[in-house]
Amino acid sequence: MGMKKITAMAVCGMVVFAGSAFAQFKPTHIPANATWVAQLDAKEFLKSAAAPVILQLLDEAALRQIAAIHAATGLNLTNDIDTVVLFGSGSTQETAALSLYGRFDSARITAILGMSKDFQNQALGQRSVLSWTDNAQQQNLCFVDPTHVILSRNTKAVMDAVKQADSRGGTANAALTTALTPSPKRFCVLQVNNVADFVADNQQLVVLKGTDSLILELSTAADSGDIAGSVQFKGGDVEQATLFHQVLLGLQAILTLQAKDNPEGALLAQQAKIERHDHLVNLRLNLPQQMLKQLVDAHIAKRQAQP
């Protein structure tokens, strides 16, 4: 396998998942101008009974990539990453920043990146911003410390995130309160306060055009392996919320009626509970471990049946 391919896999692979007891995400690391944030608490997820079931979704190609990343960088994706946090202030991937918390062999990763196309090493105080080209896209990376690395396609986004992480006694982003407040057993959260920016150029999300914000949360029971999910949508007013509530109920009915052609979708639709309270619309879904296993097995069977 070529060094260039290993390099791309190593950097992209670091965003997957894993667990370590040393790195710690702090809400003050999110800049005040961020309007959305997604956080995966890999440590919380991997210690749950649901993790082994979900990890069966990794196919042989993914497992080979994980092994290759480990061999090239020393990064063990099931032990060395604690938390994955992605944040930004717009819909574009060009300005989003990714923070990874865990254990990194910075010298080894830097040496590998040094052999990449268009590699540059730009000083940032006592640190360095490493830049290179991958698939015609510039990538930038900075090690805040051996347990915290920041990546982005935008150099300024990396520099701003590093400065934010360095701030002492900074105030957490007040607009992203739900996402940044720890919650027991929660392993994934997404809060978007600028939904219109995402809907504008994405026809698949046009159904969200009547919402101002959304909050998605996933939690797991460590013993049972059940997963609980919820999404809260905030409409601009009661009329918008009522319309969106009706749209969701309609989609639920359609999926339920398609049980013959789409049994997995129908199963999830039947489990969903959709309610409206004033300008808020809540969708809740409790997925028992046995049902989760059924969905995973069905997906694997479809994948194996493909030529």
Provide CB contacts within 8 A for 272, sequence distance 6+: 252, 283, 284, 285
The pLDDT of residue 203 is 66
- Give the integer Cα–Cα distance in Å for 105 and 72: 11
Domain extent, residue 35, equals 3-305
- If you average pLDDT over every residue of the chain, what do you get? 86
Q: Which residue is associated with the tokens 């347990």?
A: 147
The domain tally of the chain equals 1
pLDDT over threshold 50, residue 15: no
The pLDDT tens digits of the residues spanning 56-103 come to: 999 899 999 989 988 888 888 878 899 999 999 887 777 899 999 999
The pLDDT of residue 16 is 37
pLDDT over threshold 70, residue 23: no
Collapsing DSSP to helix, strand or coil, 63 comes out as: helix
Angstrom distances, CA of residue 228 to CA of 5, 141, 188, 222: 38, 34, 11, 12
The pLDDT tens digits of the residues spanning 166-198 come to: 886 667 788 999 999 988 889 999 999 988 887
Q: What percent of the chain has pLDDT over 90?
A: 54
Residue 233 CA, distance from chain mean position: 19
The pLDDT of residue 150 is 96
- Give the integer Cα–Cα distance in Å for 22 and 102: 7
User: What is the average per-residue pLDDT within 26-35?
Assistant: 91
pLDDT over threshold 70, residue 1: no
The pLDDT of residue 110 is 92
Q: Out of 28-37, 73-82, 289-298, which region has the weakest mean confidence (pLDDT)? A: 73-82
The pLDDT of residue 152 is 95
